[in-house]
Chains A and B, each alone.
Chain A
Amino acid sequence: MINPLQKHTLDGRLYSRRSIIEAKLVELVSLSRDELITRCAIEQKDDPDYVPSECLLYFIRSSRTDSSNTYFERLYKLLAERVLRSLPKAESLNGKTTSLSKSAIREKVFGGFVDLLVSDRDAYLDKLDYYEINFDDALKKLRLTVQNQIWKEENRSTTLYDEETGDLSTAVERAAGSFDPFNASAFADDDYRLCLYAAIDILPPEQRRIIEMLRQGIPIDSKEPNVLTIAKALGKSEKTIRTYRDKAYAVIRAALNEGEEV
């Protein structure tokens, strides 16, 4: 029997694992320990025998009373390694992000995840159920929370200009014009995407949010009262949203052009 999850959804239903994960667990519980360890050590996700991290976590959680066993130590360390490998290291992609921040974020996220496992060992921690449903995305959420904490502690301000007065620094003052940074053909290029995300990363938070909502296709404003708009969601006027958008585009275009020149 596969232990059910205990966390409830926001509307009160019991969470369940994705069917693909449940099916994989049913397959894996029938393996011997040696077979399971061998499978869990496979690193390539496209290998048919790859064990999803959700499943690896399940076996670790179920080891609550057996974790002194070397078998569970092996499982634990395999999962811990996967967590570390998913967290960017101190080397930044374009030199514009602080490498110390990245290092601090990496350590804190790893430590935060270790804390969750320790708490769960003490008594069932239903928060870990999120990680059994979608490990990678739950970890991304943890990473974002840690990142925001660290940026707040650092009093991070990466703005290149004064949002209030609307002045742009000489280096990036350009007309944004009609520009779609997510246009399909450019976005298909790996280097372009890396550069684009790095550029969006350094935008002030409100501009970054506007870019994200535009990426999702949410309109800036609408005559229809029931339509959710960026202006409503962020509590700002349409004019302000457009101004911020144009500034964000100017920064992104500048960064992308610099990337081309390098």
Chain B
Amino acid sequence: MPAESQHSCEDVLYAFAIEPKLGRDTLEKYLRNYPQYADELIDLSFELSREAYVDEAPLSCEDQALIDRAWQRHSETAPKEIMPLLSTLSVAEQRALAQYLDVPRQVITAFRECRVELTSVPTPFLERFASALNSTLDILMNMLSRQPVSDLGRSYKADARPEAQTLVTFEQLLIDADVPQDKRVLLMKGEN
């Protein structure tokens, strides 16, 4: 079965909608790759060609109430309790985790302190990391990526401009931790 047929209609349509260049070439490409979604793609192509609609009239009371209710619902939704996966690990557990991931413990420490630039970390490494914590990649990424922005947010105590946080790449972290080059190569490839 071709790979294209494994994508849901929703993903294909969203992907089409946000293509940077919409036009005949893009439409044709999608129609060729996803003929099973031809009707939906053509309908969306027409919809995307319409000019943006903007209602400039003052908000009605009904609309204001709609927004207020939406906010109420949003604010009452408690975020899923993200277990303090890393922060409560004992030293022994950190050591075991480091051993499992085949990295020095200071690498784990850097992740705990959210000092690592996540885009530089190979996905297979993150997947093993998440798995070692009995968690999922999404939750781990959520936790590790939340911190820098939240920290910037919380530093607005006096509405002063915050300092940008300096992050280290995964490879640099390994170098700083004296990980031998051959092992670094494997870790960067996600083959450890």
Contact = CB atoms under 8 A, between A and B. Distances in A.
A177 to B, nearest CB: 23
Interface string B144-168: 0110111011001001111011010
Contacts, number: 182
Interface stretch (A132-140, A166-174, A237-245): A132-140
Interface string A13-24: 000001000000
A215 B47 CA distance: 13
Contact of B67 (A34, A67, A84, A138): A84
Contact of A137 (B18, B43, B142, B164): B18
Interface stretch (B49-57, B98-106, B175-183): B49-57
A140 B71 contact: no
A98 interface: no
B118 interface: yes
A10 interface: yes
- Please classify how large the interface on chain B is, using the bins under 10, 10 to 19, 20 to 34, 35 or more: 35 or more
A18 B20 CA distance: 9
Nearest to B56: A85
A233 B66 contact: no
Interface in A59-104: 62-68, 73, 76-77, 80-81, 84-89
A195 B148 CA distance: 50
A86 B142 contact: no
A186 interface: no
Contact of A145 (B13, B68, B141): B13
Contacts of A34: 159
Contacts of B7: 10
Nearest to A209: B42
Nearest to B158: A32
Interface of B: 4, 7, 10-18, 20, 23-24, 27-28, 31-32, 35, 38-39, 42-56, 59, 63, 66-68, 70-71, 73-75, 77, 79-80, 117-119, 138-139, 141-142, 145-146, 148-150, 152-153, 156, 159-162, 164-165, 167
Interface of A: 1-4, 6, 9-10, 18, 29-35, 62-68, 73, 76-77, 80-81, 84-89, 107, 110, 114, 117-118, 121-124, 126-127, 130, 133-134, 136-138, 140-141, 143-145, 148, 193, 197, 200, 205, 208-209, 211-213, 215-218, 228, 233-234
17 contacts: A1-B149, A2-B149, A3-B145, A65-B79, A77-B67, A77-B71, A114-B70, A122-B79, A122-B80, A124-B138, A124-B141, A134-B18, A140-B50, A141-B16, A145-B10, A212-B46, A233-B35
